[in-house]
Amino acid sequence: MKKILIIIVIALVSCNSKQLSTEQKLKVKAEKYLLKTLHNPNSYQFVGFKIDTLKRHNINTRLNDIYKLLKNTTGEGNITALNDELNATKIALSNTNEMTYKYTYRATNKFNALVLETKTVVTDKDYDLVDFY
Protein backbone atom coordinates (compact mmCIF):
# COMPACT_ATOMS: atom_id res chain seq x y z
CA MET A 1 0.00 0.00 0.00
CA LYS A 2 2.86 2.39 0.81
CA LYS A 3 4.47 1.65 -2.55
CA ILE A 4 1.30 2.59 -4.41
CA LEU A 5 0.99 5.81 -2.41
CA ILE A 6 4.64 6.70 -3.12
CA ILE A 7 4.19 6.03 -6.83
CA ILE A 8 1.10 8.25 -6.94
CA VAL A 9 2.91 11.08 -5.12
CA ILE A 10 5.90 10.82 -7.49
CA ALA A 11 3.60 10.83 -10.51
CA LEU A 12 1.78 13.93 -9.27
CA VAL A 13 5.00 15.77 -8.52
CA SER A 14 6.52 14.93 -11.90
CA CYS A 15 3.36 16.02 -13.75
CA ASN A 16 3.34 19.39 -12.00
CA SER A 17 7.04 20.05 -12.57
CA LYS A 18 6.94 19.75 -16.36
CA GLN A 19 8.77 22.61 -17.98
CA LEU A 20 7.70 24.23 -21.20
CA SER A 21 9.62 23.19 -24.28
CA THR A 22 11.55 25.83 -26.21
CA GLU A 23 8.87 25.87 -28.88
CA GLN A 24 6.14 26.41 -26.28
CA LYS A 25 8.11 29.26 -24.68
CA LEU A 26 8.54 30.94 -28.05
CA LYS A 27 4.86 30.47 -28.83
CA VAL A 28 3.92 32.16 -25.55
CA LYS A 29 6.30 35.08 -26.18
CA ALA A 30 5.08 35.56 -29.75
CA GLU A 31 1.44 35.25 -28.69
CA LYS A 32 1.91 37.83 -25.93
CA TYR A 33 3.47 40.28 -28.41
CA LEU A 34 0.87 39.57 -31.08
CA LEU A 35 -2.17 40.05 -28.84
CA LYS A 36 -1.04 43.62 -28.14
CA THR A 37 -1.15 44.44 -31.86
CA LEU A 38 -4.38 42.74 -32.95
CA HIS A 39 -7.48 44.76 -33.79
CA ASN A 40 -9.67 42.30 -31.88
CA PRO A 41 -7.57 40.11 -29.53
CA ASN A 42 -10.67 38.13 -28.50
CA SER A 43 -10.94 36.71 -32.04
CA TYR A 44 -7.39 35.25 -31.96
CA GLN A 45 -7.05 31.55 -32.86
CA PHE A 46 -3.67 29.80 -32.91
CA VAL A 47 -3.01 27.71 -36.04
CA GLY A 48 0.68 26.70 -36.17
CA PHE A 49 4.27 27.40 -35.26
CA LYS A 50 7.24 25.87 -37.08
CA ILE A 51 10.90 26.47 -37.84
CA ASP A 52 11.43 28.24 -41.15
CA THR A 53 14.08 26.29 -43.06
CA LEU A 54 13.37 27.96 -46.40
CA LYS A 55 15.78 30.86 -45.77
CA ARG A 56 18.71 28.52 -45.12
CA HIS A 57 17.72 26.41 -48.16
CA ASN A 58 17.66 29.51 -50.38
CA ILE A 59 21.11 30.59 -49.17
CA ASN A 60 22.52 27.10 -49.84
CA THR A 61 20.99 27.10 -53.33
CA ARG A 62 22.49 30.53 -53.99
CA LEU A 63 25.93 29.33 -52.86
CA ASN A 64 25.74 26.35 -55.23
CA ASP A 65 24.72 28.62 -58.11
CA ILE A 66 27.61 30.99 -57.43
CA TYR A 67 30.12 28.12 -57.33
CA LYS A 68 28.80 26.88 -60.71
CA LEU A 69 29.11 30.36 -62.19
CA LEU A 70 32.65 30.72 -60.86
CA LYS A 71 33.69 27.50 -62.62
CA ASN A 72 32.28 28.67 -65.94
CA THR A 73 33.16 32.39 -65.80
CA THR A 74 36.11 34.09 -67.40
CA GLY A 75 37.22 37.67 -67.04
CA GLU A 76 38.70 39.16 -63.90
CA GLY A 77 35.83 41.65 -63.36
CA ASN A 78 33.18 38.94 -63.41
CA ILE A 79 35.18 36.67 -61.12
CA THR A 80 35.73 39.51 -58.63
CA ALA A 81 32.01 40.32 -58.60
CA LEU A 82 31.14 36.66 -58.07
CA ASN A 83 33.68 36.36 -55.25
CA ASP A 84 32.16 39.40 -53.56
CA GLU A 85 28.71 37.85 -53.90
CA LEU A 86 30.04 34.54 -52.58
CA ASN A 87 31.50 36.23 -49.49
CA ALA A 88 28.26 38.11 -48.80
CA THR A 89 26.27 34.88 -49.09
CA LYS A 90 28.65 33.05 -46.77
CA ILE A 91 28.22 35.82 -44.19
CA ALA A 92 24.46 35.49 -44.41
CA LEU A 93 24.76 31.73 -43.97
CA SER A 94 27.11 31.99 -41.01
CA ASN A 95 24.67 34.12 -38.99
CA THR A 96 23.71 31.24 -36.71
CA ASN A 97 22.78 33.46 -33.78
CA GLU A 98 19.30 33.93 -35.20
CA MET A 99 16.53 31.40 -35.78
CA THR A 100 13.47 32.08 -37.93
CA TYR A 101 10.02 30.63 -37.27
CA LYS A 102 6.66 30.89 -39.02
CA TYR A 103 3.74 31.72 -36.72
CA THR A 104 0.26 31.20 -38.19
CA TYR A 105 -2.98 32.42 -36.61
CA ARG A 106 -6.52 33.56 -37.39
CA ALA A 107 -8.06 36.81 -36.18
CA THR A 108 -10.60 39.35 -37.32
CA ASN A 109 -9.42 42.43 -39.16
CA LYS A 110 -10.88 45.97 -39.09
CA PHE A 111 -13.69 44.85 -41.39
CA ASN A 112 -14.57 42.10 -38.90
CA ALA A 113 -13.57 39.40 -41.39
CA LEU A 114 -11.73 36.35 -40.04
CA VAL A 115 -8.36 36.17 -41.83
CA LEU A 116 -5.49 33.70 -41.75
CA GLU A 117 -2.10 35.38 -41.19
CA THR A 118 1.46 34.07 -41.11
CA LYS A 119 4.12 36.13 -39.35
CA THR A 120 7.86 35.60 -39.18
CA VAL A 121 9.37 35.38 -35.71
CA VAL A 122 13.13 35.93 -35.40
CA THR A 123 14.88 34.96 -32.17
CA ASP A 124 18.42 35.16 -30.90
CA LYS A 125 20.44 32.22 -29.59
CA ASP A 126 18.76 32.61 -26.17
CA TYR A 127 15.31 32.40 -27.81
CA ASP A 128 14.39 36.01 -27.07
CA LEU A 129 12.32 37.79 -29.71
CA VAL A 130 14.46 39.92 -32.01
CA ASP A 131 11.92 40.70 -34.69
CA PHE A 132 8.28 39.94 -35.44
CA TYR A 133 6.97 40.78 -38.90
What confidence tens digit (pLDDT) does each residue in 73-110 have?
Answer: 777 767 777 777 777 777 666 665 677 888 999 999 99
pLDDT of res. 76 = 74
Note whether residue 95 is domain-resident.
yes
Is position 47 within any domain?
yes
Give the pLDDT confidence of 22-39 residue by residue, as tens digits: 778 888 888 998 899 898
User: Can you give the residue range of the structural domain that contains 122?
Assistant: 18-132
pLDDT at 121: 86
Number of domains in the chain: 1
**pLDDT at res. 11:** 53
127 by DSSP, 3-state: which?
A: coil
CA distance 45 to 42: 9
Residue 85 domain-assigned (yes or no)? yes
User: Is 3 part of a structural domain of the chain?
Assistant: no
Cβ contact 106:114 at 8 Å: yes
Residue 8 within a domain? no
Geometric angle at alpha carbon 48, from 31 and 41, rounded to 5°: 35
Q: Which residues of 3-35 are buried (b: 16+ CB within 10 A; e: fewer)?
A: eeeeeeeeeeeeeeeeeeeeeeebbebbeeebe
Q: Is 33 left (phi over 0), alpha (psi -120 to 50) or beta?
A: alpha
SS3 category, 45:
strand
Is residue 29 domain-resident? yes
Q: Transcribe 83-104 into DSSP letters.
A: HHHHHHHHHHHH-TT-EEEEEE
Q: Which amino acid is at 79?
A: I
Domain-located, residue 116? yes
Summarize the confidence of residues 2-14 as an average pLDDT: 50
Residue 6 belongs to a domain: no
